[in-house]
Structure 1
Amino acid sequence: MLIIVLVLVLVAFGLLVAALTTANTLFAWLSVVVSVAAAALLVVDWLSSRKRKHEARETGQPTASESGADDEPEPDDVPDPVEEPRAAAVDAPEDEPGEEATDVSDRLVVSELSDEVRVLDERPRYHLGSCAFLSGKPSLTLPVSEARQLGFTPCALCTPDSVLSARHRAAG
């Protein structure tokens, strides 16, 4: 569909150039008509893709946006700020500390911070650099907002969300 729209836009541009060089208004009007047709095709394609997404959601099938094919998020696709993604298919090992019970206001503050936290490979929690759980374990550094987006959750031992949000509020 987009190729057809591209061809129509190129034809409209050619007609516009012809109208300007020959001073013939017929070419200008044809350019307008072809441009409107291209816009109409785009609207029809957009509406049909929204309908397909809605039908796929009702049947429980993944949509193109869930598979990463659609760059533009739908208003319905914006996640609820209270719900946090979980690290998929990673069960917490027995020695893993629990998840910090984070206040919603702290979650919102932390989700916008660029302060760095530490994560362990194949582990679902993120930690402060001073967390006792990290001692002697190789860890990676990430901004806390990115760790949240990737599905990591805060450690109950070092309580990174509470510490970072309190630090941010004190600084601001």
Structure 2
Amino acid sequence: MLYIVLALVVAAFGLLIAALTTAYTLWAWISVVLSVVAAALLVTDWLSGRRKARAGDSARPTVVTVGGARRDNRPGGPAEHEQYDELEELEEPDFGDEEPPARAAAVEPESDAEVTSFLEPVAQHAAPVEDTAEPDEEPTDASDLLVVAGLSVEVRVVDEHPRYHLATCTWLGPRATIPIPVSEARQLGFTPCARCGPDGVLAARHRAAR
């Protein structure tokens, strides 16, 4: 529409110039007619735009709800000049008289038997506890003492402990041991362990080997 009006205005201006230079009045009247037509087209376009704007305003709701509050949405109202970035708060659903959905049931503690059965494998794989009690001295028979005093079979001693032991003695556990001939252990003042009984075992093995 604007291009047509512009063309009419340019044509009317050209005819007006021609009428002034040639003194031919017909060009002037045609220029006036084209100007009137251009003005009529502009008025028609303006009125059409007004009608479309009014139709759009009537279709738009005058009141909107934002964040639970009712706001004016009419032209020039607060909705035209404010920006609402807040999200509507989530409201907990109202179940009325109905009971709310059951939540996950709390886990009841297990019985003592179940706890014990669960902990047994853990206890079996736990690190062995070191036996701190010093074992008693083995009461060695005089005949066994004579045999052991001449043997070079190795036994195990632990630093700062008075007993000597067989390598299979359960009291040793994870302790660091020192291998030493049993005769030398006797000479150094070590005494036999009553738990593994090295004197009786070694004397019996020596007699059996004869």
TM-score with structure 1 length normalisation? 0.46
Larger radius of gyration: 2
TM-score with structure 2 length normalisation? 0.37
Relative contact order: is structure 1 or structure 2 higher (C-alpha 8 Å, sep ≥ 6)? 1
